[in-house]
């Protein structure tokens, strides 16, 4: 027997449990993950790691489950500053009477920077390592994520009407094209195109968005079939359901992410499935705004890739993706009348590998496999509310919340250590958030 060659590497993480996501539904005991640079060099038993690797740093996690970082595929990060400002309202009055007027009054570069940092602090604390954003001043959100070392798909907004970021479709598309050009080679940022919804963007700008996506490879993310009202109104006005209209325009394809999809008839299902478009499920926002429920299991059975998102903190009201998974798993069972629908492992896959697939990056994100990027989280299962542990996968979905996340790495860089953020100055951020709260509260009181 020949001795193993000893390889030098950067970080070794020893974990009690490891859930690689690939292969499916597997829990491995007493594993080590070896990180070299920004990638996973190996996932091996701790004995094998002793024989084969010498690392400059070792992190021991004796009561923790290690898994790939979560991917939150839909949100409006800076809206965290509107958290709890207007609750218990249906979508249209929530948007028309509260959110859009507040956005008109407050959205600025400084608002986006502070709100995005607040959202990132919450997401990092609760296990998210990649998020998708669709909001104003995308160049500011992209800079914030890049500076914090967090992975993000940042979609520039496209609407028919003026907003604080632009005067109309021409302006948005011009700025958006420059935004894509500026950020498309960044290691952390994927620039994307964010037409708000079929009812806020007309055919001509949608066609230009499709062309821009074809020219640059930038993904498209759109709110689609969020409510029954949206579908009925479109059918009355245009004689067509929005999914049919989007398909006819050529918007649906493997580089498109359809957010919500609470209304899915047989024709919609067929259209979405054959197009290869992805569906982003946002169950808590759908519940809170009484929008409806996405038939997740039915979509998955048809072969549609379904990922998960929290939506903005103004309609959720948190960005804890573990909490979102629990909600998703619970309501999938009621919607399909089957307690086996969206199993705990399927839910974890939805928040990791399926999210990576929706981004077109499942070859390098979404599972703990040698060669993939080192985006990793650890969840401490030693708390009484997570004891006893028969099956860590069950706990992560049904008993956990994101606050049990203790460590994370993105691109091999530590982001969370024993529950403390390494790259965001939380005390300073809280002062700025408090300043916004005072200003927004004074305006609301007028």
Interface contacts to Zn ion, rule CB under 5 A: 311
Q: In whole angstroms, how close is the CB of 186 to Zn ion at the nearest point?
A: 23
Nearer to Zn ion among residue 65 and residue 231 (C-beta): 231
Q: In whole angstroms, how close is the CB of 154 to Zn ion at the nearest point?
A: 14
Nearer to Zn ion among residue 315 and residue 354 (C-beta): 315
Nearer to Zn ion among residue 20 and residue 115 (C-beta): 115
Nearer to Zn ion among residue 311 and residue 320 (C-beta): 311
DSSP string, 221-272: EEEES--HHHHHHHHHHHSS-HHHHHHHHT--STTEEEEE-----HHHHHHH
Q: In whole angstroms, how close is the CB of 32 to Zn ion at the nearest point?
A: 39
Nearer to Zn ion among residue 34 and residue 201 (C-beta): 201
Q: In whole angstroms, how close is the CB of 416 to Zn ion at the nearest point?
A: 26
DSSP string, 51-69: HHEEEEEEEEEEEEEEEEP
Helix, coil or strand: residue 162: coil
Nearer to Zn ion among residue 133 and residue 268 (C-beta): 133
Q: In whole angstroms, how close is the CB of 223 to Zn ion at the nearest point?
A: 6
Neighbouring residues of 46: CB distance < 8 A, sequence distance ≥ 6: 14, 30, 31, 32
Q: In whole angstroms, how close is the CB of 282 to Zn ion at the nearest point?
A: 7
Q: How far apart are CA 73 and CA 140, in angstroms?
A: 19
DSSP string, 297-330: HHHHHHT--EEE----GGGTS---HHHHHHHHHH
Q: In whole angstroms, how close is the CB of 5 to Zn ion at the nearest point?
A: 51
The residue whose Cβ lies closest to Zn ion is 311
Q: How far apart are CA 59 and CA 426, in angstroms?
A: 24
Q: How far apart are CA 52 and CA 60, in angstroms?
A: 18
Nearer to Zn ion among residue 20 and residue 176 (C-beta): 176
Q: How far apart are CA 194 and CA 259, in angstroms?
A: 11
Query: Each residue of 430-443: b (16+ CB within 10 Å) or e?
Result: eebbeebeeebeee
């Amino acid at each position: 027997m020949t001795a193993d060659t000893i390889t030098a590497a950067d970080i070794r993480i020893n974990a009690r449990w490891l859930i690689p996501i690939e292969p499916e539904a597997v829990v491995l005991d007493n594993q080590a993950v070896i990180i070299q640079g920004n990638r996973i060099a190996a996932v091996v038993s701790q004995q094998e790691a002793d024989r084969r690797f010498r690392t400059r740093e070792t992190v021991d996690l004796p009561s923790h489950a290690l898994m790939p970082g979560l991917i939150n595929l839909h949100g409006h990060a800076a809206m965290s500053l509107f958290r709890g400002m207007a609750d218990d309202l249906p979508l249209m009055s929530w948007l028309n009477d509260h959110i859009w007027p507040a956005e008109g009054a407050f959205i600025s570069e400084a608002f986006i920077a502070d709100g995005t940092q607040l959202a990132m602090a919450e997401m990092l604390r609760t296990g998210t390592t990649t998020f998708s954003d669709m909001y104003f001043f995308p160049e500011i959100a992209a800079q914030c994520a890049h500076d914090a070392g967090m992975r993000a798909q940042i979609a520039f907004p496209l609407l028919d009407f003026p907003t604080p970021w632009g005067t109309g479709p021409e302006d948005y598309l011009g700025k958006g094209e420059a935004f894509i050009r500026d950020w498309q080679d960044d290691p952390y940022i994927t620039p994307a195109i964010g037409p708000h919804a079929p009812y806020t963007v007309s055919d001509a700008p949608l066609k230009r968005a499709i062309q821009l996506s074809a020219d640059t490879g930038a993904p498209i993310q759109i709110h689609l079939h969020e409510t029954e009202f949206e579908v009925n109104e479109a059918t009355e006005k245009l004689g067509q359901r929005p999914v049919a209209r989007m398909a006819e325009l050529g918007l649906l394809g493997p580089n498109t992410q359809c957010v919500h999809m609470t209304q899915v008839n047989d024709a919609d299902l067929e259209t979405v499935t054959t197009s290869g478009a992805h569906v982003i499920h946002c169950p808590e926002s759908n519940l809170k705004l009484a929008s409806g429920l996405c038939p997740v299991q039915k979509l998955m059975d048809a072969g549609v890739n379904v990922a998960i998102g929290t939506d903005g903190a103004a309609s959720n009201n948190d960005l804890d993706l573990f909490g979102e998974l629990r909600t998703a798993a619970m309501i999938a069972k009621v919607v399909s009348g089957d307690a086996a629908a969206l199993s705990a492992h399927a839910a974890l896959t939805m928040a990791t590998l399926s999210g990576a697939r929706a981004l077109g990056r499942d070859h390098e994100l979404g599972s703990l496999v040698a060669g993939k990027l080192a985006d990793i989280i650890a969840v401490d299962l030693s708390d009484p509310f997570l004891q006893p542990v028969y099956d860590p996968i069950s706990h992560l979905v049904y008993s956990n919340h994101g606050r049990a996340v203790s460590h994370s790495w993105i691109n091999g860089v530590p982001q969370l250590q024993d529950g403390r953020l390494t790259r965001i100055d939380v005390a300073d951020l809280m002062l700025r958030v408090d300043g916004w709260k005072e200003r927004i509260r004074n305006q609301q009181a007028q």
